[in-house]
Amino acid sequence: MTSDNVVFIGPSLSLAEASSYLDARFLPPAEQGSVFRVVRAAKPRAIVLIDGIFAKVPAVRHKEILWALSRRVPVYGAASIGALRAAELAPFGMRGHGLIYRWYRATPLADDDEVAVAMTPPEVGAQALSDALVNIRRTLQRAAAAGIISIEVRRALEAVARSLHFTRRTYSGVFDEARTILPASWQPQIEAVACWAADHAVDQKKADASALLRWLSDQVDLPPVETSALEQFRMTEAWGADLDASGLYSVDPLQP
């Protein structure tokens, strides 16, 4: 029996806005075991991976996504860890959506922390406490295109943003750091872009997440999962260790 869409979401898009785009069961950001549990509980029409948790707990594993695909459950990704996992697993049937996904596909050595943000615990809404590097860089690119800053200053500000730990990466933090380390001759441009960004900041993660949910809402029939390489899912030591760590080893992962 196939149930509704399942969406793992957090700081990339508010629950209120997400639910206005797609009829789905919305769950907190995914972690290790989240995808496995959803498929075992009730086979969804589709799984949408947008946000995930890492560092404090193990991140959602590639293997459990592959397992879901082998069970013919479509898995889509966008915006955050969903875009990253979709880029990594596109050859095996996971489908990505949006600019960030396409950028990760075209940039194999891109840093994972491009999409990382600090956030509140899921119990209180998983709200963002910092700004994603990918959003900051898109904002700076747009500012340069608008003539607010030069290409040279844009690149310098991107380097400043990249140098900050993702938990400290905010627009105010980037501009404060830039004021202390960049040449005095660039200060007028720094002030100009700081003012401009307050009203023109780009939220590419939100845009990609919204676009994927809107696209799914328009699909009467989803394309079938292409999993020719996964017709027979193989148990491995790593997969068994993941299940054991998640407290899921009591179920048989090889059974549909």
Of 78, 5, 91, which Cα lies nearest the Cα of 46?
5
Each residue's pLDDT tens digit, 161-198: 999 999 999 999 999 999 999 999 999 999 999 999 99
What pLDDT shows up at residue 184? 96
Torsion of the alpha carbons at 93, 96, 101 and 105, rounded to the nearest 10: 20
pLDDT at 18 over 70: yes
Q: State the chain's mean pLDDT as an integer.
A: 89
What pLDDT shows up at residue 158? 97
Q: Starting at the edge strand that comes first in sequence, how are the strands of the sheet with 95-97 ordered?
A: 24-27, 5-8, 47-49, 75-78, 95-97
What pLDDT shows up at residue 234? 66
Cβ-Cβ contacts under 8 Å for 239 (sequence gap 6 or more): 63, 67, 253
Each residue's pLDDT tens digit, 243-256: 776 665 555 544 44
Rg over alpha carbons for the chain, rounded to the nearest Å, is 20
What pLDDT shows up at residue 228? 56
For the chain, the straight-line distance linking the first and the last C-alpha, in angstroms and rounded, comes to 12
Report the predicted TM-score, pTM, of the whole model to 2 decimal places: 0.89
